[in-house]
């Protein structure tokens, strides 16, 4: 994977992408999380790839402004890989939009888990251990060491992960394309993507009712009854209902505002 | 007190701005925040010492999955500020600062849906292709409005004490607070619905429920679900590969056989 050397153009794109890798959390929203960061990170690559195709560039920019969430460091790996995928798409059309989206989604969950385990629970704890020891004696070096160890390691890791992501993507996709396994790969990626989306909906989308019906002396807690059918059935209903509406052509902005107003109105009647 | 409050709010703004623009999640840690607050309030030494104990306290509290039990950054800033400004000991400063985490969480759950409502605007802006404007607007937003709640809460906490904020929160009509809190946890649903509408096919759609059941019923974390998901995906890949190989070998055998026939014939 390290055998293929990068051309100067590729190198300069990767360098520009690296410069944007700090934008991960800029304008983080609950709806799309790191989407804006991803768009900005992909921009240098898309600018070059779609130089002669302004419409294609706009479509690609929209494609990378979709829901995205992972660890800030492993983010670079996926961005590098996506660069390779976009390049394949432009150069020989061997990849379609859905495959790119599927691979991105499939990688979000695993990379988030790995990033948290390695950087948050390991590097940070070690760096803090070193830093606390020095700071206890009133030595500012503790703070500086913490920044250098925890922040510095992330910076270095980002650059290498970006490059690894790109070269892995290139060689991997080449092999897949040559052996005609692209369809098999797309299907595998969408299976993993689906599993991860299901898991993330289960843990991140919550619909809790505060609705109690009093019949005589007994009080019925509606939330418990609904959840006894299937835990979190309302969140599934919400997501699939929204999906139906989107497929019917409803704009996401309408849905977001609808949820906002609907929640307050329902809360007024004591349902939320 | 207003002057100190301004300094404290500025420290919070500065740390959040810089850390969000480099995405290190490093500068927001107590061990960095406390000395910086100390430096700006003129007592670096107390800041460093408190940084050590605050980092040790918040070390175990992780923010995985977006739910922050206590806001380490604002609690640390306040704890250091109270200790330096009132001359109290570290424990008292910390005890006064702890409710700020809950306050932050309550106020932020109200602003979250408002920020979420902006995401369609960002998408249209990205799709317009004018990335220069996209970049300027997102960064400007990040530097000003994104952390305005935190900045204001810290300012008022130091200037008027946290009790004033708590009574403000209590004076809000309950249904507004509850409605906004409910909306903010449903907002993520819109993002996932957009994703699903792009990815859903009959063939793989059922796997959504595999992930759902593993997470909801069995309570597994994302890495372990990812490992199982990868096993299913690899199995499917191998299966498909077998068919494709078979198809390839059949067609090449057929071609080879045809070529042999021709050679024999001549």
With a pLDDT cut of 90, the percent of chain B lying above it is 28
- Contact residues, chain B, for A236 at CB < 8 Å: 212
Query: With an 8 Å Cβ cutoff, are B113 and A184 in contact?
Result: no
Task: Closest CB to B194: pick one of A232, A238, A246.
Answer: A246
Find, among B197, B222, B201, B199, the residue nearest to B212 by Cα: B222
* pLDDT value, residue A58: 92
Distance from CA of A218 to the nearest CA of B (A): 24
Find, among B111, B113, B110, the residue nearest to B174 by Cα: B110
Look up residue A6 and give its DSSP letter.
P
Among residues 47-106 of chain B, which lie with CB inside 8 Å of chain A?
48-49, 51-53, 55-56, 59, 62, 64-66
- Kindly report the backbone phi and psi dihedral angles of residue B215, in degrees, each rounded to the nearest multiple of 5, phi listed first: -80, -45
Please give the helix or strand (H or E) that residue A220 lies within, else none.
strand A218-221
* pLDDT value, residue A236: 92
Find, among B73, B84, B55, B98, the residue nearest to B14 by Cα: B73
Q: Which residue has the tokens 């995401």?
A: B119
Q: How far apart are CA B187 and CA B184, in angstroms?
A: 5
Which chain B residue's Cα is nearest to A121?
A: B62
Does B27 touch chain A if contact means CB atoms closer than 8 Å?
A: yes
Does B233 touch chain A if contact means CB atoms closer than 8 Å?
A: yes
Q: How far apart are CA B146 and CA B228, in angstroms?
A: 37
What average pLDDT is seen over chain B? 83
Q: How far apart are CA A71 and CA A78, in angstroms?
A: 10
Q: Which residue has the tokens 């660069």?
A: A83
Distance from CA of B266 to the nearest CA of A (A): 34
Does B218 touch chain A if contact means CB atoms closer than 8 Å?
A: no
Quickly count helices (H) and strands (E) in chain A. Answer: 12, 2
Task: Closest CB to B52: pick one of A142, A239, A240.
Answer: A142
Find, among A237, A103, A222, A252, the residue nearest to B212 by Cα: A237
Query: With an 8 Å Cβ cutoff, are B220 and A199 in contact?
Result: yes
Which chain B residue's Cα is nearest to A153?
A: B24
**How close are the terminal C-alpha atoms of chain B, in Å?**
105
Q: Is the CA virtual torsion A227, A192, B183, B71 positive or negative?
A: positive
Question: Are the C-beta atoms of residues B100 and B74 closer than 8 Å to each other?
Answer: yes
Query: With an 8 Å Cβ cutoff, are B190 and A65 in contact?
Result: no
- Contact residues, chain A, for B31 at CB < 8 Å: 128, 131-132, 135, 142-143, 146
Q: What is the DSSP string of A95-158?
A: S-HHHHHHHHHHHHHHHHHHHIIIIIIIIHHHHHHHHHHHHHTT-THHHHHHIIIIIHHHHHHH
- Segment B239-254, tens digit of pLDDT: 988 888 888 888 877 6
**How close are the terminal C-alpha atoms of chain A, in Å?**
53
What six digits make up the tokens of A6? 């990068």
Distance from CA of B179 to the nearest CA of A (A): 4
- Which burial class, exposed, middle or buried, applies to B261 when counting CB atoms under 10 A from its CB (0-12, 13-18, 19+)? exposed
pLDDT tens track, chain B, 266 positions: 788 899 999 999 999 999 988 888 889 999 999 999 999 999 999 899 989 888 887 776 554 434 445 678 888 898 899 888 887 777 777 777 777 777 787 787 778 888 888 888 898 899 998 999 999 999 999 999 888 988 998 898 888 877 777 777 777 788 887 887 788 778 788 888 888 888 888 888 999 999 999 999 999 887 888 889 999 999 999 998 888 888 888 887 766 666 565 555 55
- Kindly report the backbone phi and psi dihedral angles of residue A124, in degrees, each rounded to the nearest multiple of 5, phi listed first: -65, -40
Query: With an 8 Å Cβ cutoff, are B35 and A135 in contact?
Result: yes
- Kindly report the backbone phi and psi dihedral angles of residue B66, in degrees, each rounded to the nearest multiple of 5, phi listed first: 85, -15
Distance from CA of B262 to the nearest CA of A (A): 28
pLDDT tens track, chain A, 272 positions: 444 578 888 899 999 999 999 888 888 888 888 999 999 999 999 999 999 999 999 999 998 998 898 899 999 999 999 999 999 889 877 788 888 888 888 888 788 878 887 888 788 888 988 899 899 899 999 999 999 999 999 999 999 999 999 998 888 877 877 777 878 888 888 888 889 889 888 988 888 888 887 777 788 888 888 888 888 889 999 999 999 998 898 887 788 888 888 888 988 888 87
Which chain B residue's Cα is nearest to A55?
A: B129
Judged by DSSP in three states, A29 sits in strand
Question: Are the C-beta atoms of residues A61 and A39 closer than 8 Å to each other?
Answer: yes
Please give the helix or strand (H or E) that residue B227 lies within, else none.
helix B222-265
Does B168 touch chain A if contact means CB atoms closer than 8 Å?
A: no
* pLDDT value, residue A4: 57
Query: With an 8 Å Cβ cutoff, are B204 and A265 in contact?
Result: no
Query: With an 8 Å Cβ cutoff, are A36 and B199 in contact?
Result: no
Look up residue A4 and give its DSSP letter.
S
* pLDDT value, residue B228: 92
The full set of domain ranges for chain B reads 2-199, 202-266
Does B140 touch chain A if contact means CB atoms closer than 8 Å?
A: no
């Amino acid at each position: 994977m390290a055998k293929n050397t990068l051309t100067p153009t590729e190198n300069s794109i990767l360098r520009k992408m690296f410069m944007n890798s700090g934008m991960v959390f800029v304008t983080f929203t609950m709806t799309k999380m790191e989407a804006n960061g991803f768009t900005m990170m992909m921009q240098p690559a898309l600018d070059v790839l779609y130089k002669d195709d302004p419409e294609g560039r706009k479509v690609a920019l929209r494609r990378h402004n979709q829901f995205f969430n992972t660890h800030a460091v492993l983010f670079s790996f996926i961005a590098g890989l996506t660069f390779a995928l976009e390049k394949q798409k432009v150069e020989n059309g061997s990849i379609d939009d859905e495959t790119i989206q599927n691979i991105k989604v499939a990688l979000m969950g695993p990379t988030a888990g790995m990033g948290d385990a390695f950087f948050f629970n390991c590097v940070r704890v070690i760096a803090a251990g070193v830093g606390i020891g020095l700071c206890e004696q009133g030595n500012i070096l503790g703070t500086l060491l913490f920044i250098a160890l925890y922040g510095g390691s992330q910076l270095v890791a980002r650059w290498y992960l970006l490059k690894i992501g790109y070269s892995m993507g290139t060689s991997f996709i080449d092999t897949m394309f040559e052996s005609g396994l692209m369809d098999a790969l797309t299907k595998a990626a969408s299976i993993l993507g689906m599993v991860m989306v299901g898991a993330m909906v289960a843990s991140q989308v919550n619909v809790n009712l505060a609705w109690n019906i009093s019949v005589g002396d007994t009080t019925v807690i509606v939330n418990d009854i609904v959840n006894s059918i299937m835990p979190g059935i309302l969140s599934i209903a919400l997501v699939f209902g929204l999906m139906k509406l989107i497929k019917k052509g409803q704009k996401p902005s309408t849905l977001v505002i609808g949820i906002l107003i609907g929640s307050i109105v329902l809360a007024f009647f004591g349902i939320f | 007190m207003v002057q100190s409050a301004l300094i404290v709010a500025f420290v919070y703004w500065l740390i959040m701005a810089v850390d969000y623009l480099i995405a290190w999640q490093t500068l927001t840690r107590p061990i960095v925040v406390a000395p910086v607050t100390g430096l700006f309030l003129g007592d670096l030494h107390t800041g460093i010492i408190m940084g050590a104990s605050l980092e040790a306290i918040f070390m175990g509290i992780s923010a995985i999955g977006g739910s922050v039990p206590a806001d380490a950054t604002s609690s640390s800033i306040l704890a250091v500020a109270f200790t330096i400004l009132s001359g109290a000991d570290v424990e008292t400063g910390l005890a006064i600062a702890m409710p700020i985490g809950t306050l932050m969480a309550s106020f932020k759950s109200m602003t979250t849906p408002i920020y979420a409502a902006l995401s369609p605007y960002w998408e249209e802006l990205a799709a317009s292709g004018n990335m220069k404007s996209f970049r300027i607007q997102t960064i400007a937003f990040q530097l000003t409005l994104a952390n305005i709640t935190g900045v204001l809460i810290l300012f008022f906490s130091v200037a008027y004490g946290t009790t004033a904020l708590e009574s403000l929160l209590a004076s809000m009509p309950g249904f507004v607070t509850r409605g906004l809190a409910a909306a903010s946890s449903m907002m993520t649903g819109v993002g996932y619905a957009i994703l699903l509408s792009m990815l859903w096919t009959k063939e793989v759609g059922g796997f959504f429920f595999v992930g759902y059941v593993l997470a909801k019923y069995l309570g597994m974390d994302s890495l372990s679900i990812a490992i199982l998901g990868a096993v299913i995906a690899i199995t499917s890949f191998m299966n498909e590969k077998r068919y494709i190989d078979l198809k390839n070998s059949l067609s090449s055998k057929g071609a080879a056989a045809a070529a042999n026939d021709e050679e024999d014939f001549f």
